[in-house]
């Protein structure tokens, strides 16, 4: 099996767990992990199922998961797993959530899968081989300006000291864009950007598992992914802009009027 096939099969295993809980899991069944950030039994069981499915094929690899942290292996490969991206949506029965799995070799993401179970949509990418939605090649939007663009974002609820900077950026964006959506799943926002549903996406202080797979989808579809100052620190620092090239350049200019990557020092 290829790495994408392994990840796809593992995402299915995780999704089977999530579907089982979908109609019966409520807020009373979840633990408060931190302010505004829920973790449920569904998250944990999904991650266990995903890791077991991958380990059957790749027993020497390392795993980095949202719920279980790092599980060291002996190879140069690391699977980065979000077993349920959009947990709050899931618990509120808002149907915008997914499974996200990425594979990094040394310092490069080489494969990514985002699976949206409720719509049975698979977003997949391999480095150098393009990005696909259910087997059909995806291409980034042809939109070249923020003016008239349809964008996705997320609120910095984990870094509330930067809300004022974020609101200033958001204000500039909504004044000229066609629209901005905050749906609550960064992984799906990036997948939809790769599929040209959105023209771009920006958010502060995400975690590696939120963006590792989606960022590869965007770049393999022809888009650009950077941190808030145009650099490559987005995976470790979590401040990310992913968009069609022209939209990306203008988003960076707008963001630069209000903050820079080096000013965003919040510890995740």
What CATH number has the domain bearing residue 236?
3.40.190.80
Range in 23-27, 107-111, 178-182, 201-205 the model is least confident about: 23-27
Q: How confident is the model at residue 38 (pLDDT cuts 50, 70, 90)?
A: low
**What is the C-alpha separation between 138 and 14, in angstroms, rounded?**
24
Provide the token pair at 41.
Answer: 């039994």
* Half-sphere exposure of residue 232: CA atoms within 13 angstroms, side-chain side: 5
CATH of the domain at 107: 3.30.540.10
Q: Are strands 150-153 and 200-203 parallel, antiparallel or unpaired?
A: parallel
240 domain residue, yes or no? yes
Task: For residues 4-10, give the mean pLDDT.
Answer: 98
Provide the token pair at 83.
Answer: 């077993």
Task: Let me know whether 70 and 163 are in one domain.
Answer: no
Q: What is the pLDDT of residue 78?
A: 97
Task: Let me know whether 96 and 163 are in one domain.
Answer: no
Do 111 and 126 meet the contact criterion of CB atoms below 8 Å apart?
A: yes
Task: Let me know whether 105 and 206 are in one domain.
Answer: no
Q: How confident is the model at residue 32 (pLDDT cuts 50, 70, 90)?
A: low
Among residues 77, 106, 137, the one where a domain terminates is: 137
Task: Let me know whether 97 and 178 are in one domain.
Answer: no
Task: Let me know whether 117 and 218 are in one domain.
Answer: no
pTM: 0.93
Task: Let me know whether 253 and 186 are in one domain.
Answer: yes
Task: Let me know whether 118 and 181 are in one domain.
Answer: no
Q: What is the pLDDT of residue 28?
A: 56
Task: Let me know whether 167 and 121 are in one domain.
Answer: no
249 domain residue, yes or no? yes
Task: Let me know whether 174 and 248 are in one domain.
Answer: yes
199 domain residue, yes or no? yes
268 domain residue, yes or no? no
143 domain residue, yes or no? no
**What is the C-alpha separation between 100 and 114, in angstroms, rounded?**
4
Q: What is the pLDDT of residue 73?
A: 76
SS3 for the chain is CCHHHHHHHHHHHHHHHHHHHHCCCCHHHEEEEECCEEEEHHHHHHHHHHHHHHHCCCCCCEEEECCCEEECCCCCEEEEEEEEECHHHHHCCCCCCEEEEEEEECCEEEEEEEEEHHHCEEEEEECCCEEEECCEECCCCCCCCCCCCEEEECCCCCCHHHHHHHHHHHHHHHHHCCEEECCCCHHHHHHHHHCCCCCEEEECCCCHHHHHHHHHHHHHCCCEEECCCCCCCHHHHCCEEEECHHHHHHHHHHHHCCCCHHHCCCCC
121 domain residue, yes or no? yes
Segment 80-104, tens digit of pLDDT: 999 999 988 988 889 999 999 999 9
Q: How confident is the model at residue 51 (pLDDT cuts 50, 70, 90)?
A: very high
Task: Let me know whether 124 and 181 are in one domain.
Answer: no
Task: Let me know whether 166 and 125 are in one domain.
Answer: no
145 domain residue, yes or no? no
232 domain residue, yes or no? yes
Do 42 and 84 meet the contact criterion of CB atoms below 8 Å apart?
A: yes
Crossing angle between the packed helical segments 208-220 and 186-194, to the nearest 10 degrees: 0
Among residues 102, 137, 172, the one where a domain terminates is: 137
Domains identified in the chain, total number: 2
Do 101 and 50 meet the contact criterion of CB atoms below 8 Å apart?
A: yes
Task: For residues 5-16, give the mean pLDDT.
Answer: 98
Segment 154-191, tens digit of pLDDT: 998 777 888 999 999 999 999 999 999 999 999 999 99
Task: For residues 54-70, give the mean pLDDT.
Answer: 90
Looking up tokens 């633990």 gives 31
Among residues 108, 137, 166, the one where a domain terminates is: 137
Domain residue limits at 213: 150-263
Task: Let me know whether 10 and 73 are in one domain.
Answer: yes
């Amino acid at each position: 099996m290829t790495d994408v096939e392994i990840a796809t099969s593992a995402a299915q295993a995780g999704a089977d767990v999530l579907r089982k809980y979908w109609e019966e899991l409520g807020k009373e069944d979840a633990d408060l992990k931190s302010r505004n950030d829920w973790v449920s039994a569904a998250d944990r069981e999904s991650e266990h199922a995903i890791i077991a499915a991958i380990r059957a094929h790749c027993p020497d690899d390392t795993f980095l998961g949202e719920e279980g942290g790092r599980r060291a292996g002996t190879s140069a490969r690391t699977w980065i797993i979000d077993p349920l991206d959009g947990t709050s949506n899931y618990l509120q029965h808002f149907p915008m959530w997914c499974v996200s799995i990425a594979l990094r070799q040394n310092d490069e993401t080489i494969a990514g899968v985002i699976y949206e179970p409720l719509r049975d949509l698979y977003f997949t990418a391999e480095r150098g081989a393009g990005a696909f939605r259910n087997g059909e090649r995806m291409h980034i939007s042809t939109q070249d300006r923020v003016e008239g663009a349809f964008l996705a974002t997320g609120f910095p609820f984990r870094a509330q000291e930067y809300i004022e900077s974020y609101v200033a950026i958001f204000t500039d964006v909504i004044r000229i864009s066609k629209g901005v959506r905050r749906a609550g799943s960064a992984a799906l926002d990036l997948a939809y950007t790769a599929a040209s549903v959105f023209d771009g996406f920006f958010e502060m202080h995400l975690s590696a598992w939120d963006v590792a797979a989606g960022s590869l989808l965007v770049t393999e579809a022809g888009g650009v992914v950077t941190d808030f100052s145009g650099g490559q620190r987005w995976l470790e620092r979590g401040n990310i802009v992913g968009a069609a090239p022209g939209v990306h350049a203008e988003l960076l200019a707008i963001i630069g009027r209000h903050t820079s990557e080096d000013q965003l020092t919040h510890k995740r």
